A and B are shown apart, each in its own frame.
Chain A
Amino acid sequence: MELVAEEKILELERRIKQLEATKKKDQLSMVVFSGELDKLLAAMIIATGATAMDMEVKLFFTFWAISALRDKEKRAKKKELTSKMFGAMLPKGTSDVKLSKMNMAGAGLSMLKSLMKKKNVASLDDLLKTAGELGVEINICEMSMDLMGLSKDEMIDYPDLNYCGVGTYLADAEESAIQLFI
């Protein structure tokens, strides 16, 4: 009788260990792919909001979103001609990004920006600054950065800025309770 009980306890302990190993962290993992203001705002509002909910936040910036992290003041060193051309056509930082809808050659964009001011909605720059202060990690996809003709030396100064590949994102996402793609 006692032996059976002991075996049951051992079995339960084994199962608990198994569950603990697969338990998701209170963490948000987000792929930030889009380079338009509205989508970037959504991404950064969710990211900063998640820190308020005490979640760890890891952002993986890839493709069009990377241009928003360019620093207007910084100049990239040596680039190939095609990279140079591609880089020149992409937005140079947050002040250059457009709307995904109703941009109307910038008219919609400036309307939205003035509405945001009026309604006390934080700007993309403010959100990035807040995210940095709150410990939101930004990982830039090295491969797509290179593909877009961008380089590390033209990215903004941000506290937790890292460069990585898809493996890092997948490892982070696998252990995150929430995963998003924007």
Chain B
Amino acid sequence: MSQEELVAIQADKVVDARGTACPGPLLAAKKAIAEITSGQVMEVLSADEGTKKDIPKWATKKNHEYMGTVEESGFFKIYLRKA
């Protein structure tokens, strides 16, 4: 998915995990994805660099679709579609 397409996404759930370091964002993502239904989109906000690699790995394991990452200043947004 292109950056333009990602930026245009209206997520069904936004998780702000910028106040936590590893493994905080992963735990927050796991908790939040339980609150949406299959096919819905979740956006995870994080400032922890490791999360960029961790969330796609976690998504692969759980069969969620990793849609991409958008860089902001000092943090980034990760988009996922629930399996």
Closest beta carbon of chain A to B10's beta carbon, Å? 26
Q: Are B58 and A122 in contact (CB under 8 A)?
A: no
Query: How many A-B pairs with Cβ below 8 Å?
Result: 35
Of the candidates A52, A119, A134, the one having the most CB atoms from chain B within 10 angstroms of its own CB is A52
> If A120-B20, A120-B21, A122-B20 touch, does A52 touch B26 (CB 8 Å cutoff)?
yes
> If A52-B58, A54-B62 touch, does A120 touch B23 (CB 8 Å cutoff)?
no
- Chain B interface, number of residues (Cβ within 8 angstroms): 14
Chain B residues within an 8 Å CB radius of A45: 22-23
Chain A: interface size category:
10 to 19
Q: Which residue of B lies closest to A48 (CB)?
A: B23
Q: How far is the CA of A51 from the CA of B62 in the complex (A)?
A: 13
Q: How far is the CA of A134 from the CA of B34 in the complex (A)?
A: 14
Q: Which residue of B lies closest to A116 (CB)?
A: B21
Chain B stretch 23-81: residues in CB contact (< 8 A) with chain A: 23-24, 26-27, 29-30, 48, 58, 61-62
Chain B residues within an 8 Å CB radius of A119: 21
Q: How far is the CA of A134 from the CA of B28 in the complex (A)?
A: 12
Q: Are B20 and A53 in contact (CB under 8 A)?
A: no
Q: Chain B residues in contact with chain A, CB under 8 A?
A: 19-24, 26-27, 29-30, 48, 58, 61-62
Q: Chain A residues in contact with chain B, CB under 8 A?
A: 45, 48-49, 51-54, 119-122, 130, 134
- For the complex of A and B, 8 pairs with smallest distance between CB atoms: A49-B23, A52-B26, A121-B21, A52-B30, A120-B21, A52-B27, A48-B23, A120-B20
Q: A48-B27, A52-B23 provided; 12 other pairs, C-beta below 8 A?
A: A49-B23, A49-B27, A51-B27, A52-B27, A53-B58, A54-B61, A120-B48, A121-B22, A122-B20, A122-B24, A130-B27, A134-B27
